[in-house]
A and B are shown apart, each in its own frame.
Chain A
Amino acid sequence: MIKFFLMVNKQGQTRLSKYYEHVDINKRTLLETEVIKSCLSRSNEQCSFIEYKDFKLIYRQYAALFIVVGVNDTESELDIMFNLDKVHIILDEMVLNGCIVETNRARILAPLLILDKMSES
């Protein structure tokens, strides 16, 4: 199951974090630092999987942003940042309780589109 979803930039700053299992706030920072450290230490020739403690990190680099998913047994950086809430809402549609629950793009976006329309009007 998915333990957390992270977006971290190359400087090691967390851009988005979502935990599907409660982690203490002070432990989160530590964890994220270590996660991004292990991601940064890897080259393109190395695989996208990192064994980290008792779970596994799967990462992908997107421009300067690392998207990291922590599992136990699977746009531009600033855009994500400025729409923190929206990204979360999208993510909530896709992942719940560590499970990928929706991958149909139209359906993922539907609730957000409604909200967007409402805030405009």
Chain B
Amino acid sequence: MSDIVEKTLTALPGLFLQNQPGGGPAAAKASFSSRLGSLVRGITALTSKHEEEKLIQQELSSLKATVSAPTTTLKMMKECMVRLIYCEMLGYDASFGYIHAIKLAQQGNLLEKRVGYLAVSLFLHESHELLLLLVNTVVKDLQSTNLVEVCMALTVVSQIFPCEMIPAVLPLIEDKLQHSKEIVRRKAVLALYKFHLIAPNQVQHIHIKFRKALCDRDVGVMAASLHIYLRMIKENSSGYKDLTGSFVTILKQVVGGKLPVEFNYHSVPAPWLQIQLLRILGLLGKDDQRTSELMYDVLDESLRRAELNHNVTYAILFECVHTVYSIYPKSELLEKAAKCIGKFVLSPKINLKYLGLKALTYVIQQDPTLALQHQMTIIECLDHPDPIIKRETLELLYRITNAQNITVIVQKMLEYLHQSKEEYVIVNLVGKIAELAEKYAPDNAWFIQTMNAVFSVGGDVMHPDIPNNFLRLLAEGFDDETEDQQLRLYAVQSYLTLLDMENVFYPQRFLQVMSWVDASLSFLDGFVAEGLSQGAAPYKPPHQRQEEKLSQEKVLNFEPYGLSFSSSGFTGRQSPAGISLGSDVSGNSAETGLKETNSLKLEGIKKLWGKEGYLPKKESKTGDESGALPVPQESIMENVDQAITKKDQSQVLTQSKEEKEKQLLASSLFVGLGSESTINLLGKADTVSHKFRRKSKVKEAKSGETTSTHNMTCSSFSSLSNVAYEDDYYSNTLHDTGDKELKKFSLTSELLDSESLTELPLVEKFSYCSLSTPSLFANNNMEIFHPPQSTAASVAKESSLASSFLEETTEYIHSNAMEVCNNETISVSSYKIWKDDCLLMVWSVTNKSGLELKSADLEIFPAENFKVTEQPGCCLPVMEAESTKSFQYSVQIEKPFTEGNLTGFISYHMMDTHSAQLEFSVNLSLLDFIRPLKISSDDFGKLWLSFANDVKQNVKMSESQAALPSALKTLQQKLRLHIIEIIGNEGLLACQLLPSIPCLLHCRVHADVLALWFRSSCSTLPDYLLYQCQKVMEGS
């Protein structure tokens, strides 16, 4: 044997120094026990991979000789195994030793056996054929009377075991569940867990035994069974609800310190056990109020007990927060959990901050307000030097992206993307950006530019779905052909510009996308041809012709970035979008249509407009080209740079304004995170105003026209590039705007509420009609403009009152009379006369009794929003029997509203003694104060440009109004809008709110969607009108 040793030793020069070859077993033992040490030292001392490889190969060949030599003792074999493990660990194949590992497990004494099993578990994998040779050994050891052997067998079974051989050992292991020693029971449970993982069907019949393990008197066995339960509950939580009580009790005991101290870790009782239980409870309580109620107490206690003092308590708290947010919510617990997240996030310890961000990311969708609470911390983390923190923050932002903050968030993602080198990060991030861009793109230009960035960075590694989806989007488009064309045009434009640049390389996939898109250039030809042919339109002001010429040249030239920027400024000025700065009102409207469709529509509408205002139809077609081809402006990254150069003055301020910038960033990032209804409401509206922003900025920079600062502020509200470099004044007013917007949010939701409320009066109206009982709500203004769906009875009743109508009623449109109150003596009905300059309310009081009424008086309480003036001759001292008298009041509106009430009372004396009083109220709608505004198309165009407040919305039309004329007619009839002109699928309407606030409406129809665009000098009027329009369009 010694010469074999000698032989192998010569192969290892390093070992000569330490181990002198000697004779006899003692020398062999000594040399063998230190062989691993020498090898490790030898490897550590080496400096190159090449040397390492050489040394290991030598070692392996000597090992190969040793293990196959018949003289090698089991003890030597054991030592060889450890060295083989080491070699494999360094990445060198030692498969020649696998079979010897199995032999060692079979034949060795305890320690040798253990190393044999260890080597097997490290060398082999589940489906390795040699593993079958181990089964007999395992069976034998399981039946051994030696506890250690049983444990070894159980350990190896829990690590690696061939699936098909489970039946051979299962009964043996089941038996072990009753073993007297906890270690055997525990290991048996873990072996069963393994079986459950690899072949759940085979252990189904012993579920009852798992329950026994859960109730085991030993903590270790119980804890082991939790692994199985966590797994099973993950798969099917409903099957284990009955165990909730048990889990809660166990957790209570653990938290309460009832476990032996040896289970403590840094004086925290069994932290991993707690975590396991918290996870199980989270799964059980999900969407289940009753089950959740069982665990509120213990969760509360866990949160209370786990104080922030050690890593492992952080882990428990983290798990606790997770569970609290997973189960049926309880506000008290949520509050505490939120506080806990706050502590994490604000911690100076970087690991805790990370945990806090993770927790925030998890809970953010359920409670967006938490993001608002910690917005400043999130902003800080966004610029954290640790890229991992940064990335986690982006993940968080990804979850709260909406139509309002998309540009800022995507910009942040792109910044990170440009710094990333790791493929996995790029693939992941690129996927997210593409997803968000498709979902929330505010406009064509942004969308294409963002996708360009995505393709240039991630082109080679990204998921193929991304280019596929993108191309499908381009190919299939949306409902509207014009929009689609513009999107495609823009894409082609941007690609041409990109390809024009020299010395730039694009990923293969990006080039494929480009060439695919370019292949469909035919559609562009048609478009250009059409534009040219229509260029010879009947009338065109000279300056306009020149502009068109310019823009057409641009179309053909495909100018690069620098010039196109000016051209976009040009078009920006030309289009209404350039002037329509995102007012605070526009952030307010509730839009319903598809995001992309909506934002794209703006482009379509543009073409009606020229420098001087409205363009007649034919020209607008050609004018459109200039609008449709804003030509790639700046890449998103460049955008920032430009902002800097444009505003060098404010640039000076930036350093000192760091804090302010962060707040600005915060307001743009966390916009739209409020109550859920707000989010839904705002998703759309902001997209619209957003689009104007860029334009307005360009416009200001280029043309230098003065615009109201307020609008500017608004316009920069959620665009980071703008926001970051605004000067002092802007940043201050910005916050005001933010507040205003917030108020507006709640207002909008009120609007929604009132919409649903208006359903009620309708119902009541029906009951009124059939029962003829007076109802305060009977006077529903919506019903007045068209014949009410009333029963014959009520019609008869109303017609009987018709005789009492005032003279004015013949002159002006009026509503039907409605009874507003009555008693046995009198009946009061009212109607509205919509005079040109005011609303005239008429109350006619009928004395039904045969007696004379004295000092009959009708009074109207002063009302908010209204100015009520009594018309002469209203107080009638005496009312004869069975007579009817009218009281008139003119009503003026003081500020726009949606619906208001006028209340008043009628008092009278009967036979000198008896005095009576009856109250009534009448609903007033904004529409009562809307009058048609008869102006020309030219005037419309001029007015349009002068109004800063606008609101856009898509409204779905009912089938009956699917055509534009019928839709407009509805608006004319029900809202009294004046139709100025109908051009193709577009229409112009105007109205005024008494006394003299004008409001303009531009309508456009495509398919069954009516795109409404309001503008007014009053900031709130467009919203109210939009609301009424929606009611009319959707209600009929």
Contacts and interface: CB of A to CB of B under 8 A. Distances in A.
B767 to A, nearest CB: 59
B388 interface: yes
A17 to B, nearest CB: 5
B91 A47 contact: no
A82 B148 contact: no
Interface string A14-57: 10111000100110110010000000001001111111111000
Contact of A25 (B43, B93, B110, B148): B93
B91 A45 contact: no
B118 A28 contact: no
A42 B88 CA distance: 28
A114 B158 CA distance: 20
Interface in B113-132: 114-115, 118, 121-122, 125-126
B666 to A, nearest CB: 23
A45 B194 contact: no
Contacts of A115: 110-111, 114, 148
A22 B85 contact: no
A49 B186 CA distance: 32
A115 B385 CA distance: 49
A115 B389 CA distance: 45
A48 B389 CA distance: 11
**Which label, helix, strand, loop or mixed, suits the secondary structure of the A interface?**
mixed
Nearest to A102: B220
Interface in B228-244: none
Contacts of B262: 104-106
Contacts of B88: 25
A81 B158 contact: no
Given A85-B115, A103-B270, A118-B111, A51 B388 contact: yes
Interface string B551-594: 00000000000000000000000000000000000000000000
B193 A97 contact: yes
B118 A103 contact: no
Interface string A96-117: 1101111111110011001100
A101 B224 contact: yes
Contacts of A25: 88, 91-93
Say which size band chain B's interface belongs to: 35 or more
A34 to B, nearest CB: 9
A46 B121 CA distance: 35
A16 B315 contact: no
Contacts of A110: 183
Contacts of B220: 102, 104, 107
Given A28-B89, A88-B118, A118-B148, 5 more contacts: A13-B90, A49-B354, A103-B270, A110-B183, A114-B148
B101 to A, nearest CB: 12
Contacts of A18: 122
Given A82-B36, A88-B122, A14 B90 contact: yes
B391 interface: yes
11 contacts: A25-B91, A47-B351, A82-B40, A85-B82, A85-B114, A96-B155, A96-B194, A97-B159, A104-B263, A111-B183, A114-B110
A21 to B, nearest CB: 9
A101 B263 CA distance: 12
B197 A29 contact: no
Interface in B202-236: 220, 223-224, 227
Contacts of B389: 46-47
B147 to A, nearest CB: 8
A82 B110 CA distance: 20
Contact of B159 (A13, A32, A50, A96): A96
Nearest to A84: B82
A87 B270 CA distance: 23
Contacts of A93: 155
Nearest to A30: B91
B505 interface: no
A49 B89 contact: no
A42 B350 CA distance: 13
Contacts of A102: 186, 220
Contacts of B807: none
Contacts of A106: 262
A89 B85 CA distance: 13
B37 interface: yes
Contacts of A97: 158-159, 190, 193-194, 197
Given A29-B90, A29-B91, A103-B272, A45 B386 contact: yes
Contact of A47 (B86, B92, B224, B354): B354
B351 A81 contact: no
Interface in A1-16: 9, 11, 13-14, 16
Nearest to A99: B227
A115 to B, nearest CB: 5
B524 to A, nearest CB: 42
Contacts of B151: 111
A119 B82 contact: no
B318 to A, nearest CB: 10
A100 B350 contact: no
Contacts of A99: 193, 227
Contacts of B804: none
A52 B121 CA distance: 26
Interface string B86-110: 1011111100000000000000011
A45 B197 contact: no
B44 interface: yes
A59 B526 CA distance: 62
Contact of B155 (A42, A50, A53, A92): A92
A46 B350 contact: yes
Contacts of A85: 81-82, 85, 114-115, 118
A74 interface: yes
B470 interface: no
Interface string B862-890: 00000000000000000000000000000
Closest 8 CB pairs of A and B: A29-B91, A22-B125, A46-B386, A47-B350, A47-B354, A53-B424, A119-B111, A96-B158
B91 A49 contact: no
